[in-house]
Amino acid sequence: MRTLTTEQTTHPVLIFWIIAGWVGFFLLPWYGVEDFFTFEWLIDGYPFDEDYAPAAFLIGQGEKLWLTPMFLGLLLPLLALGRRKTDPIYAKLLIAAGAIGFGWLILQGFTIGIRGWNFEWAKALFGELGDRQFGMGYGALICASAFLFLFTQGIAARGAINGDVFVVSAIGGVVVIVTAFVFFPIAKMLTAAFITEDGGYSAGVFASKFFDDRLWGLGCLSGGRCGVAWNSLFLAVLVGLITTVLGLIFALVVTRSGFRYKRALRALTVLPIITPPFVIGLALILLFGLSGSVTVFFSDMFGIQPTRWLYGLPGILIAQTLAFTPIAFLVLIGVVEGVSPSMEEAAQTLRASKWQVFKTVSLPLMRPGLANAFLLGFIESMADFGNPLVLGGNYDVLSTEIFFAIVGAQYDQGKAAVLAMVLLCFTLGAFYAQRFWLGKKSYTTVSGKGDSGVHPHMPRALSIPVLAMAMIWAAFTMVVYVMIFYGSVVELWGVNNTLTLKHYVTAFSFRIEDSGIRWSGAAWDSFWTTLKIAAIAAPLTAIVGLITAYLLTRQTFAGKNAFEFGTMLSFAIPGTVIGVSYILAFNVPPVEITGTGIILVVSFIFRNMPVGVRAGIASMSQLDKSLDESSLTLGANSWQTFRRIILPLLRPAILAALVYSFVRAMTAISAVIFLVSAEYDMATSYIIGRVENNDYGLAIAYSTTLIFVMLSVVALMQFIVGRTEIGRRMTQSRTNT
Amino acid sequence: MSINSKAAPVSFRNVTKVYGTDVVAVDDINLEIEAGKLVTLLGPSGCGKTTTLRMIAGLEMATKGSIHIGDRDVTLLPATDRDVSMVFQSYALFPHMSVMENVSYGLGFSGFDKSETKDRAAQGLDLVGLRGYGDRLPSELSGGQQQRVAVARALVLEPQVLLFDEPLSNLDAKLRRQVREEIRDIQQNLGLTVVYVTHDQEEALAVSDEIVVMRNASIAQIGSPRDLYDAPADRFVADFIGEANIIPCEITSVSKDVATIKIDAFTHKLPARGLPVGPAALAVRPTRLKLGAKTGMKMTLQKATYVGSRMEYTLKAGFGEVFAVSEDVDTPLEPGADIMVGLDAIGPVLLPPDQSH
Ligand SMILES: Nc1ncnc2c1ncn2[C@@H]1O[C@H](COP(=O)(O)OP(=O)(O)OP(=O)(O)O)[C@@H](O)[C@H]1O
Ligand SMILES: [Mg+2]
C-alpha cells in the first residue's frame, strides 16, 4: 500500500527547512565574513562580536533591531508541524511565514546600507538611523533559502502543480536566483543608460547614444565603414551558419559513417572548446600574420606581398569558426544520436533511398538541434570578445566597443549600456526566429518502447563531401594546435627560434622542501584559483541548467514563457556586460560579493547555465512523456522520477553541461576580467596580463598547460559519468558494405 | 506471500475535463466501476477514452466534478499518491533498466525491503510467464514480451485499480488474442479492478464485464457485453458494437410495453422499450434475420459470399441494403432471387427514430 503524502502529519522537508532557518538565524554569522571557510571567526569573538554574530545574538545585544520581524517567519511554521497538508491552515501558515521572512529580508537589505538609510524618503520618514549594515552572509543566505522554500511548500500545499513540492520549489528557486543574478544586475546596468553626467536621468542621453552613426552607419555599402551593430550582426549570422553546418558534418561523421578514426576526430573537435579565447587568434597570427610562418613562406616562394588580410572580418570569422564549431558539434551529436533508428528504418522500408531517408526523415528530426546550434553560434559570436580584440583590426564589433567604453579612457557606462541593449535585441531576435521556425511540431523520437534499431549510414553522395570537409577542418585545426605548442617552446617567436622550456619553468616551477612542496612558479596562484572556481561552478551550473530544462519541458505552469525567457536571457548577454553589471550591482549591500571567489562562481553559473538548459531541453524533448508518467503511476514522486528516470537517460546531456561549464569557467575572459581581484586572479586574466606585457612565450606556455589540464579533466568526467545504455541492439552503426 | 488484489471501486461524479480553455474532452460524465470488474472504455477516436483513463490515474486533473477510488475522494491527488497503476500503449519501459529493475521500480517506493522487492518482482515475472528474463534490457525483448513486462510492473504493486490504454494495439492479431486472454485470466484470478481502453469492439466484447461506450466526450451507454449487443440504447451503439441493420419502421400500437410495428406490409410484435406510437428504427443483427421465412419483408438477393463457416448475403429492400448471415452453407441462395425476410423472436430491438433524419 502506498504511503499517502497527503495524510502524513510529519513532513521531513518542512522540518529540514525550519531547522535550516533556525540555524541561519541563531548560529551562523548574519553578515558576510571574509575567509569564512578558514573558520577563524569562530575563535575571534563569535558569537558576540558584531562582525561575526548571528542575527539572534545581534538582536539580543540590542543591535540591528530591524532584523527582528524575521523571527516571526521562523515561528509561524512551527504551528504547521503536525498538521495535514490538506489543512488550509498549513498552507496559510507557510505562505505567511515565507512571505514575511523573505519580504522583510529583502526590504531591510535594500533600505539600510553602509551609510544608513539608502533612500532619502526613508530618512525623512524615520529620521537618522545612526547605524548601518554590510553585505549579507551565510546566515542571511540560509535564512533566505529557508523562507523561500517554506513559501513554496505553502504554495504547493494550496494545490499548485498538483501539490508537487519539488516542482514548486524548483520553480521558486530558479525564479529567485535568476532574478537576483540576471535581472537585478542587468536592470541596474540598463538604468545606467539613462543617467546623465551629473547623476540625473534623461531619455535624451539615451537617444543620442542609441542613434549614433558609429552604431548604425551604412558606409560599407559605398566603400566606407559600417556601424558596429551591422558588423556584429553580419559576423554572427555567418558564424552561426558555418558552425552549424560544420557541427552537423562532424556529428554525421562520428555517428553515421564507417570512418575509422572517429575517436580521434571527436577529440579534435573538442580541442577548441578547451582552448582559452584569443589563443586561437594568437595562433592565427603566428600562421597568417604579417610575419607569420605561412605568410613568410608564400612571400619567399612566390614573391607574394605580405598583407594584413587576416586582421578584420576574415580573421575573426576563421577564429570564431574554429572556436565555436565544437559547441555546435556537442549540441548536434546528442540530437543526431537521439533520432530513433526505427524512424529511419521505417522510412527505408517505405521505399525511400538512403538519401531520401536522410533528407526527409533524419534531417527534419534534427531540426531542433540545428536551430539550437545556430542560435548558440550566433550568440557566442555576438558575445565573443577575445578574438575581435586580437584580430579585429578595423572591424569593430559590439562586444569590443562595450569593453572599451568601460575600460577605455572614455569610461562611459551609459554608452556600454546602450550597446548592450542593441546586442540584446539581436540575440533575442534570433531566439524568437528560432522559436518561429521550430513551430509546434513534436520531435519526440526516443519512445518508451525499447528501441532496437541501428542508425543507417549516410548516403554515399553525402558521405564523401562530408568526410572531405571534416578532414580539411581536422588538418587545419591540427596545424593551429601544433603552432600553439611550438610557440610555447621557442625563445621568442619569429625572432629567436631556439627551443627552450624556460616559459614552462617560469610559470610552473616548484621545489620540494622539508615543509612540503613549494609552488614557486609565477602561474600557480591563478592556476589553483581557476581550477577551484571552475570545479565549484561546473556541477552547480549543470544542476541549475538541467532542473530548468526539466521544468520547461515537463511541467506546465502559469508564466512559463516568461520563465523561459528569463533563463535564456543571461545567455544573450555578453560576458563583458555581465562583468560590468555585476560590479555595479554587487559591490554594495545587501549582496556584497565583488572581490570574492563567489562572484566568479556566480557569474559562471549564469553565463553558462543556458547551455545546460539547451542541452537538457534538446535531449529531454526526445524522451517520451509516457516514461515519466508511468514512473508517476508506479508511485514515484516527481523528484524520484527526475532522479531515477530522467537523469540517467540524460547522461550525455549532463556530461555536455558539466564539461562545457567547467571548460568555460576555465577559459572565460570577458566577464572575468572585470571580476578578478588580487586574491582571486584567474588564469585567463593572468595570461592577458602577460600578453599586454608582450610576454607571448609565457602566455602561450600557460595556455598550452591549461589545454592539457582540461583535456584530462574532460576525459575524467567522461569516465565518471559513463555512457548511457539506451539499449540499442548494437551500439555501432551498420557498415556500408 | 503472493500477489493479491486490493481491488477498489471507482466512481466519477459529474466529471468534466477541459483542455486549455475550450477543448471539452470529457463532458459531465457519471460512472460507477465495481471492484474486481474489468470495464472497457470503448468509442471512436477522440471521444475522450484516454482522458478518462488518465483522470483515474491522476495524470490529468478533472476540471469539474469529483473522482472516488475506494472510499476516498482522489479528485485532487496527484498520480504518485493514487494507488493506481497504468500500462501504456507504448509500454513505457525504462530503457536504461533491466526487466527486473523495471518490475522492481514501483516496489521501491512502496516501502518493501530489498528481499521482498526481489521476491515480488520475480513473482510478477512468473505470473506473466517471463521467469528468467530479468536480466535483459527491454530492447532485447519482443513486442509481446515487453507488453507483459509492462503488465507485471503494474501488477506487482497490487494496485486498487489497474489501467490499460490500448495495450494490444502494437501486437499482431494472434498475440492480441493470446495477451488479452492472459490479461483477463490474471484479472479474474486476482480479482483486480481493471479499466481498459480500446477501440476494437471485438476485444471489448471478449474481455469485459462491463462496457462503457463513449461518444463525443460523453457516455452513450453502459452495460454488459450482452446488454450492449442485444439491447443497444441507440443507433450509435447498435452500429458501433457489432454490425446491425437499421431498418426504419412505424410503431402502430403499443400495449403493455409490446409494440406492433409495420415495415411496408410486414407487421411484427416486440418489446416497445418505452417508445410511443410513431416512426421508429429497428436494429437487427445480421444473424437475426430469417431468410426465406413465410412472412416478412420482401427483398432481392444481390450478393452471396461463402466464408467457410457461414454464408453472407447482401439484400436489397425498399428502404436500402441489408446484410444477413446464414449458417446454412449447403443450400446457398442464388443472387437475383426475390425472398421474404423474417425476424427472429428475440434479437431485434426498437430504437428511437434516427435524430438526423
Ligand atoms: N493535451 C491536450 N490538449 C488539448 N486537447 C487534447 C489534449 N489531449 C486530448 N485532447 C483532445 O481531447 C479529446 C479527447 O482525447 P482523448 O485522447 O481522450 O481521445 P481518445 O478517446 O483516447 O482517442 P483515441 O482512441 O484516438 O486514442 C480529443 O478531441 C483530443 O483532441
Ligand atoms: Mg487514446
Distance from the Cα of B133 to chain A's closest Cα (Å) equals: 15
Alpha carbon nearest to ligand 1 atom 17, residue: B50
| Ligand 1 nearest atom to the CA of residue B17, by list position | 12
Angle between helices A279-288 and A313-338 (to 10 degrees): 130
Distance B52 CA to ligand 2 centre (A): 9
B283, B311 Cβ separation under 8 angstroms = no
Q: In chain B, which residues fall in CATH 3.40.50.300?
A: 10-235
Rounded CA gap, B159 and B6, in Å? 6
Rounded CA gap, B159 and B106, in Å? 11
Mean of pLDDT values over A64-91: 84
- A730 Cβ under 8 Å from any chain B Cβ: no
pLDDT tens, A406-423? 776 777 777 877 887 788
Cell numbers 460507477: residue = B32
- B105 Cβ under 8 Å from any chain A Cβ: yes
Alpha carbon nearest to ligand 1 atom 12, residue: B25
- A556 Cβ under 8 Å from any chain B Cβ: no
Q: Which residues contact A262 (CB under 8 A, 6 or more apart)?
A: A253, A254
CB spacing of B80 vs A638 below 8 angstroms: yes
Pick the residue with more confidence: B214 or A655? Answer: B214
What cell numbers appear for A505 in the block?
A: 619553468
Cell numbers 518508451: residue = A448
Query: How would residue A734 be classed by pLDDT, with cut points 50, 70 and 90?
Result: very low
| Ligand 1 nearest atom to the CA of residue B199, by list position | 25
CB spacing of B154 vs A1 below 8 angstroms: no
- A3 Cβ under 8 Å from any chain B Cβ: yes
Distance B88 CA to ligand 2 centre (A): 10
Alpha carbon nearest to ligand 1 atom 4, residue: B19
A286, A292 Cβ separation under 8 angstroms = yes
For β-strands B210-215 and B218-223, DSSP reports them as: antiparallel
Pick the residue with more confidence: A16 or A613? Answer: A16
CB spacing of A450 vs B157 below 8 angstroms: no
CB spacing of B94 vs A627 below 8 angstroms: yes
Distance from the Cα of B162 to chain A's closest Cα (Å) equals: 10
| DSSP character at residue A623 | B
Q: Is the preceding omega at residue A590 within 30 degrees of 0, hence cis?
A: yes
What cell numbers appear for A680 in the block?
A: 582571486
Closest ligand to Cα B54: 1
Instruction: Please tell me the predicted confidence (pLDDT) of residue A346.
Output: 62
Pocket test residue of B15, B27, B47 for ligand 1, highest count of atoms within 8 A of CB: B47
Q: Is the model's pLDDT at A6 over the cut of 50?
A: yes
For residue A584, the one-letter residue type is: L
- Note the pTM of the prediction, 2 decimals: 0.75
In A201-312, alpha helices (H): 203-210, 213-216, 228-256, 262-270, 279-288, 293-302
A624, A550 Cβ separation under 8 angstroms = no
Q: Is the model's pLDDT at B2 over the cut of 70?
A: no
Rounded CA gap, B356 and B248, in Å? 13
Mean of pLDDT values over A254-268: 75
What cell numbers appear for B239 in the block?
A: 452500429
Q: Which residues contact A60 (CB under 8 A, 6 or more apart)?
A: none
Distance from the Cα of B87 to chain A's closest Cα (Å) equals: 8
Disruptive mutation site among A449, A560, A632, A654 for chain B (greatest number of B CBs within 10 Å): A449
Distance A403 CA to ligand 1 centre (A): 54
Instruction: Please tell me the predicted confidence (pLDDT) of residue A4.
Output: 56
- Hey, is A651 helix, strand or coil? helix
Q: What percent of chain B has pLDDT over 70?
A: 98
**Domains of chain A, CATH where assigned:** 12-158 (no CATH), 531-683 (1.10.3720.10)
A411, A584 Cβ separation under 8 angstroms = no
CB spacing of A448 vs B76 below 8 angstroms: no
- A626 Cβ under 8 Å from any chain B Cβ: yes
Rounded CA gap, A443 and A440, in Å? 9
| Distance in angstroms between the alpha carbons of the first and the last residue of chain B | 61
Distance B48 CA to ligand 1 centre (A): 6
What cell numbers appear for A348 in the block?
A: 527505408
**CA B341 from centre of chain:** 31
For residue B187, the one-letter residue type is: Q
- A498 Cβ under 8 Å from any chain B Cβ: no
Burial of residue A82 (CB within 10 Å: 0-12, 13-18, 19+) is: exposed
CB spacing of B109 vs A162 below 8 angstroms: no
User: Most distant CA pair in chain B: distance in Å?
Assistant: 76
Q: CA triplet A527, A529, A533: central angle to 5 degrees?
A: 120
Query: How would residue A234 be classed by pLDDT, with cut points 50, 70 and 90?
Result: very high
Rounded CA gap, B78 and A633, in Å? 9
What cell numbers appear for A88 in the block?
A: 488550509
Alpha carbon nearest to ligand 1 atom 13, residue: B25
Distance from the Cα of A564 to chain B's closest Cα (Å) equals: 20
Mean of pLDDT values over A470-483: 84
Nearest to B110 among A2, A164, A633 (CB): A2
Calculate the average pLDDT of chain A: 79
The DSSP-derived string for A182-213 is IIHHHHHHHHGGGB-TTS-B-HHHHHHHHT-H
Distance B253 CA to ligand 1 centre (A): 44
- CA A143 → CA A27, A49, A146, B138, B161, distances in Å? 11, 20, 5, 46, 44
Q: Is the model's pLDDT at B222 over the cut of 90?
A: yes
Q: Which residues contact A644 (CB under 8 A, 6 or more apart)?
A: A631, A636, B105
| Ligand 1 nearest atom to the CA of residue B217, by list position | 14
CB spacing of B6 vs A728 below 8 angstroms: no
Nearest to B33 by CA among B162, B182, B217: B162
pLDDT tens, B128-165? 888 889 998 888 888 888 888 988 888 888 888 999 98
| Ligand 1 nearest atom to the CA of residue B23, by list position | 5
Burial of residue B178 (CB within 10 Å: 0-12, 13-18, 19+) is: middle
Let me know how many helices (H) and strands (E) chain B has, helices first: 8, 20
Nearest to B162 by CA among B191, B122, B126: B191
Nearest to A634 among B6, B139, B157 (CB): B157
Rounded CA gap, A331 and A653, in Å? 9
Rounded CA gap, A478 and A293, in Å? 15
Q: Give the lowest-confidence range in A254-263, A645-654, B18-27, B345-354.
A: A254-263
What cell numbers appear for B17 in the block?
A: 475535463
| DSSP character at residue A523 | S
CB spacing of B90 vs A4 below 8 angstroms: no
| Ligand 1 nearest atom to the CA of residue B48, by list position | 18
Angle between helices A460-488 and A279-288 (to 10 degrees): 90
Q: What percent of chain A has pLDDT over 70?
A: 89
- A444 Cβ under 8 Å from any chain B Cβ: no
Rounded CA gap, A57 and A30, in Å? 10
CB spacing of B94 vs A451 below 8 angstroms: no
Nearest to A726 among B85, B95, B106 (CB): B95
CB spacing of B78 vs A2 below 8 angstroms: no
What cell numbers appear for A230 in the block?
A: 551591422
Q: Which residues contact A370 (CB under 8 A, 6 or more apart)?
A: A244, A248, A332, A335
CB spacing of A648 vs B96 below 8 angstroms: yes
Cα nearest neighbour of A634 on chain B: B106
- CA B158 → CA B124, B154, B342, distances in Å? 10, 8, 52
For β-strands B297-306 and B311-317, DSSP reports them as: antiparallel
What cell numbers appear for A134 in the block?
A: 554590510
Instruction: Please tell me the predicted confidence (pLDDT) of residue B355.
Output: 60
pLDDT tens, A490-507? 877 766 777 888 888 877
**Which residues are paired to B40 by β-bridges?**
B196, B211
- A648 Cβ under 8 Å from any chain B Cβ: yes
- CA A119 → CA A106, A112, A116, B268, distances in Å? 15, 8, 9, 96
Q: Is the model's pLDDT at B296 over the cut of 60?
A: yes
Q: How many CB atoms lie within 10 A of CB A94?
A: 29
For residue A69, the one-letter residue type is: P
Chain B residues lying within 8 Å of A340, measured CB to CB: none
Instruction: Please tell me the predicted confidence (pLDDT) of residue B13.
Output: 94
| Ligand 1 nearest atom to the CA of residue B47, by list position | 21
Chain A residues lying within 8 Å of B83, measured CB to CB: 1-2
Nearest to B92 among A2, A627, A649 (CB): A627
| DSSP character at residue A31 | B
- B189 Cβ under 8 Å from any chain A Cβ: no
Show the ligand 1 pocket: residues with CB < 6 angstroms. B 19-20, 23, 25, 43, 45-51, 199
What cell numbers appear for B84 in the block?
A: 493506481
Q: Is the preceding omega at residue A47 within 30 degrees of 0, hence cis?
A: yes
Disruptive mutation site among B5, B55, B76, B80 for chain A (greatest number of A CBs within 10 Å): B80
B310, B325 Cβ separation under 8 angstroms = yes
CB spacing of A1 vs B83 below 8 angstroms: yes
Q: Is the model's pLDDT at A225 over the cut of 80?
A: no
Which CATH superfamily does the domain covering B246-351 fall into?
A: Nucleic acid-binding proteins (2.40.50.140)
Q: In chain B, which residues fall in CATH 2.40.50.140?
A: 246-351
Chain A residues lying within 8 Å of B92, measured CB to CB: 448, 624, 626-627, 629-630
CB spacing of A636 vs B105 below 8 angstroms: yes
**CA B9 from centre of chain:** 18
Instruction: Please tell me the predicted confidence (pLDDT) of residue A351.
Output: 62
pLDDT tens, A140-187? 889 999 999 999 998 888 877 777 888 899 999 999 988 888 888 888
Pick the CATH number of B10-235 from 3.40.50.11890, 1.10.3720.10, 2.40.37.10, 3.40.50.300: 3.40.50.300
Chain A residues lying within 8 Å of B88, measured CB to CB: 448, 626, 629-630
Rounded CA gap, A660 and A652, in Å? 12
- Hey, is A368 helix, strand or coil? helix
Cell numbers 514563457: residue = A561
